[in-house]
Structure 1
Amino acid sequence: MDIVWSSIWITLLAFLILYWLLSRYAIGPLMSVMEKRRELVLGQLNEASATREEAAAYVEQQKEALQQARKDAYDIIEQSRQTSGKQADQLIAQAKEESVRLKDEALRDIESEKNKAMAALRGEVGRVSVQIASKLIEKEIDEKSNEGLVDQYLKDVGTKS
């Protein structure tokens, strides 16, 4: 087997020209596109990481806001309970005061009516006493008749009251 040096040189030269052409027009632009793609992917990863961190911070902020809202709602409910308790106590106190006032007023009215009835009874007793005395003076009677008049007087007083 003989080595043909001219074929080797031509093949080598063709290979170098082909390599130079490929690196200049194919591999170079392909590598620059690949580098741009790599940078784009890295940028998107960084952006996704930042977005994830923002989302986590936002979720945490929302949790805190929800906890604060729950606390505020609990405070409002507790304040409402206290206010309603105070109002209930005030209403009960007012009702007690009103019942005491009405009771006192009723007692005064009863006492007033009692005094009026006693005055009317005294007047009636006085009138009847005068009638009995005048009848006794008009007639002089014995003790049995006197008892009869007293009984009659008591019956009259009993039927009038």
Structure 2
Amino acid sequence: MHITWSTFFIQLAAFLILFLLLKRYAFGPLLGIMEQRKELIQGQLDNAENSRNQAAQHLEEQKQALQQARKEAYDIIEQAKATSSKQADDIIVTAKTEASRLKDDAVKDIESEKNKAIAALRGEVGGMSVKIASKIIEKQIDEKSQEQLVNQYLKEVGSK
């Protein structure tokens, strides 16, 4: 193996020139593009992390809003139950009051009709008593005839 020093130095010089040219015109821009790509990817990762955090926060807010809506719905249902129960109680009290009033009115009407019937009966009995007395005075009859006359008038009263 024999080394030719002149070829070796020419190849070394060519390699260094090529390396410097590549470094200046190829590696520099290539590394710059790779650095931009790295920054772009890092920015996208940061945006993705922010989006994930915002989504988690939004999800938590939605859960809280849903819980609040459920609580409000439960409160509305409870309030409606209480209101309907109160209205039912009011209706029952009103119905009992009205029934009591109607019963009292009916009792008063019955009492009034009873009093009218008693007054009418007293008037008729009084009138008949006067008639009987006048007939008795007119006839001056014996006791047996008087008893028959009273029984006859009592039958007349019973038939009316």
Quote how far apart the aligned CAs of 1:95 are: 1.3
Q: Which amino acid aligns with 2:34?
A: M
- Structure-to-structure mapping, 1:129-148, within 5 angstroms: 129-148=129-148
Match of 2:79 in 1: 79
CA deviation string 1:123-156 (max 9, x = no partner): 0111111122222222233343333222222221
CA deviation string 1:36-88 (max 9, x = no partner): 11111111111111111111111111111111111111111111111221121
What is the root-mean-square deviation in Å for CA atoms of aligned residues?
1.5
Match of 1:7 in 2: 7
Match of 2:111 in 1: 111
Q: Which amino acid aligns with 2:53?
A: E
Match of 1:37 in 2: 37
Match of 1:152 in 2: 152
Quote how far apart the aligned CAs of 1:109 are: 1.2
State the TM-score, normalized to the length of structure 1.
Answer: 0.91
Match of 1:23 in 2: 23
Q: Which amino acid aligns with 1:119?
A: A
Unaligned runs of 5+ in 2: none
Match of 2:56 in 1: 56
Q: Work out the CA distance in 2 between the residues paired with 1:14 and 1:158.
A: 158
Match of 1:128 in 2: 128
Q: Work out the CA distance in 2 between the residues paired with 1:73 and 1:103.
A: 44
Quote how far apart the aligned CAs of 1:119 are: 0.5
Q: Work out the CA distance in 2 between the residues paired with 1:24 and 1:146.
A: 163
Which shifted more, 140-149 or 9-18?
A: 140-149
Q: Work out the CA distance in 1 between the residues paired with 2:159 and 2:50.
A: 107
Quote how far apart the aligned CAs of 1:118 are: 0.6
Residue aligned with 1:141, SS:
coil
State the TM-score, normalized to the length of structure 2.
Answer: 0.92
Match of 1:93 in 2: 93
